[in-house]
Amino acid sequence: MEVYLISLRNKGRVAAKGTLKTTDSKRVIGGSMLGTEFVGVYVDGIENKGDEELPRPLYSICTLIDVVGFIIPWPKSHVSVLFYSLLYRFLLCSLIVLLLIPPPRCR
């Protein structure tokens, strides 16, 4: 699922775009367990400068610009689902339901 990573410094600002990879609180990323407050996100690209600091450094990497192409822990309170991803899933589910319902029979 495609997501936005919301800045921890600037309220409401999108810091990066990524793909949600895991919500498993026991999953280890960068040597630390995610826990209940974090999710694992694959960073696809940076919005703005990329100078946003990571809430949990990934080994010796401390900023978002350096983790493009990596899965990082990010606070779930600062992850927003992309609208188009939700719309696509809704339309796909609607199409499946329509295909499963038999057409009315003529008498």
pLDDT number for residue 72 = 96
With beta carbons less than 8 A apart as the criterion, state whether 38 and 56 touch: yes
Q: Beta-carbon neighbour count of residue 45 at 10 Å?
A: 11
Amino acid at 2: E
List, for the chain, all residue ranges whose pLDDT scores fall below the cut of 50: none
- With a CB cutoff of 8 Å and minimum separation 6, the contacts of 43 are 5, 16, 17, 18, 64, 67, 68, 69, 70, 71, 72
Residue 40's nearest CA partner among 6, 67, 74 is 74
pTM of the predicted model as reported, rounded to 2 decimal places: 0.74
For residue 51, give Cα distances in angstroms to 9, 16, 78, 107: 11, 11, 16, 68
| DSSP label at residue 37 | T
pLDDT number for residue 27 = 96
Half-sphere exposure of 40 (CA within 13 A, CB side): 19
Distance CA 34, CA 17 (A): 19
